[in-house]
Each structure stands twice: as C-alpha cells, then as structure tokens.
Amino acid sequence: MLDHTLYRKVTAAFRSRFQDSPSLVVRAPGRVNLIGEHTDYNDGFVLPVAVDRAAWLAVSPREDSWSTVRAIDMKNDEQSFPVDQVPSSDGGWADYPKGVVWAFLEQGLKPVGINAVLTSDVPVAAGMSSSAALEVAFAYAWDQLSDFGMSMPDLALLCQRAENQYVGVNCGIMDQMISACGKAGHAMMLDTRTLERAYFSMPEGIAIVVADSMVRRALTGSEYNVRRAQCEEAVAILQEHLSDVAALRDVTVEQLLQFEEMLPEVVYRRARHVVTENARVLEVSRALYEGHLAYVGELLIEGHRSLRDDYEVSIPELDTLVEAAVEVDGCYGARLTGAGFGGCIIALVDEGAVTDVEAHLGKVYEAKHGTAPTVYMTRPDNGVAKIA
C-alpha cells in the first residue's frame, strides 16, 4: 500500500534542498524472513516477504559527474561524491550508495550524477534489511536515469556485491533479491544458488506481527562474518569425505551426523543449523501451500531454537519476545528474523489476535527488560518500483 505521507515528505524535502521537483521517486521495501536464516550465504533456501515499510528516494539527474545525497532521517546529513571514479568510503550510511556506484563502475557502466533525498521507515539495524532497501532504491534510480536496463535479479546481485566488497558485510543475496523482486500478498521462496524464485500466497486472515527488541547491532562489528567463516570451515572438512559438496546446501542431515566427529564441536553446531534450516524452508513452503498453519508455526519455533542453541545468534531479549508471543491464543509460532544479535522477531498470528499479542508482548517484555518493544503488523508488499 502506497504511503502518501512518506512520498510527500521526501518530495517536499527534495524541493526545499534543490529548488526543483524530483524527476523520479523510488520506493524499495525492507523485508522480514519467515524462515531460512543464515542459509543464503550457504547456497541454501530462504522464504522472505517484502514488507510495507520502505526506503523512499526522490532524485533527479545532474549535468556533471558528481552526486549529492541527503538523508533527512539522519539530521539531514548530506554527502557529495564522484560517480566517474570509485568514491571514498567513510563508514557511514552513504557507503551504501557509494558502494552501488563502485559496483556499476566494476561492470563497466557509468552512472549519471544525481541529486537525491532519502527517507525510510524501515527500522535501522533491526533485522529488516534497511541497508538492502537503501541500496536497491539507489541502484534502481541510477538504472532508470542512466538507461542501463538491468533486470531486477541482476540489480539485486549488483547491490549484494556492493555490500560484500565495498561496505564489507558478507551478506547473502536474500535481502537485495526480495527488495527487488517482492510480490504483494506473497512470500518468495528463493534458491540462492540458482536464483530460482517461487511465490506462495499468504493465507487470508493471517498477520505477520513484528516486535522490535530495540537492541541494535552493527553487522560489520558483530559475529556475522565469524559465522560465515565457520560454515566455510565445515564445508572444507566435509569436502575431504564428500566430493560433491560445494556448500552446506549440499549436505544432508544424515551425512552431517555421519561425519560429526570430524568437525570441531562449534563448527558442527553451526553446520547443523544451516542443514536443518534448509529443510525447514522447504517444509514451511509446502505447509503454506497446503494451508497447514499449525505446522508452519511449529517449524518457526523449531527454527528459533536452532538459531538460539546451534547458531548462537539470539539474545535474551529476542527469546523473551518469542516465548511471550507463543503464549497467546491465535499465535501459531514465532522466531527471530534477520541475522540476530538484536533486532526483531516475527510472529504468525490470526488477525483477530493481533491486539492481544501486542499487549502481551509489551507487558512481558517491559517487566523483564525495563523497556517497551515496538510492535506492529506488516503486510507482504511489492518490490522496488518507480512511484512517480
């Protein structure tokens, strides 16, 4: 659903700063992931939905090879940088559009200079992919204004390279792909190896409730890259015994058990999460298609326990929210969403029980942690698009 408030906000800010109307307004959504956490950089399966919270970009081309970008949610922080050479990194939010410029140049494409104003209602560092929304918004705008004609999957891959190699976060492809290719009313099952996508309708009368723990983390300074290295270590060891294994996606539960003694204990547990999580994605997709919501809920809870115990990316605040959500009648299941270490949980809830879930989450969380979570309902929405 189009948020006219943010549209008016970003276009008014553009006119105020640049004394002109923008030639293009772009909206790129954040996401929540129903199931399939930390599987995407292991060539596995994921099941995200694009949400009705997004980055909004008002933009116009310039005559020269410079870009000026302003983020009105960050005290109107403004930066200017060249687009005909690799911009210098400063470690801030502007590294995302700078990284997109770097990725275009790496492909031999020359983006036009732009003036741009950004706003977003995707919570930052909450596990809803605010960075991917920002990258995809800028990449789409440059693609449109520079007449590159890139496909949405190729645009997502470009944004992933920008985050991996320029920003320095070894994320998988899920976040950028769902922001680029989301479909309203649907979850998208993505095979991160082949990039094949399948869409599954979300059942009528079911809401995705997001509860934000308000605990923030920076992925570049977290254990995210450590987890990826541990998965790569598991693959290297297993390849000595299983010649057809290129990634943990290729390992079965039975094979992992067979070679458990070959792996360091912590590496085994990391691998066990990824291998079992891949199986859960396929099961949830099948259960959604068949309308077996109780089973979907069971798998969400199972996935959270695996993230908590085997992958060790949950924290007490997220555990509290998950446990509180499933105590309410009408909640099928809950789990952390995103990389972990903070951020949000999701709960699959009957629409009639949303108010009860919200109230119970607030009461339990505040009693235990001394602060209130932010709780809201989201709807599956479309991927990046030109709004005007």
Q: Residues with catalytic annotation?
A: 175
Q: What is the 3-state secondary structure (H, E, C) of 124-153?
A: CCCCCCHHHHHHHHHHHHHHHHHCCCCCHH
Q: What is the 3-state secondary structure (H, E, C) of 208-277?
A: EEEEECCCCCCHHHCCHHHHHHHHHHHHHHHHCCCCCCCCHHHCCHHHHHHCHHHCCHHHHHHHHHHHHH
Query: Encoding tokens for residue 357?
Result: 């879930």
Q: Measured between alpha carbons, how far is residue 173 from residues 133, 197, 221, 386 in Å?
A: 13, 12, 20, 22
CB 45 within 8 A of CB 36: yes
Element (H, E) at 123: none
Q: What's the residue count for the chain?
A: 388
CB 245 within 8 A of CB 232: no
Picking from 140, 158, 154, 126, the residue whose alpha carbon sits closest to that of residue 32 is 126
Pairing of strands 206-212, 374-378: antiparallel
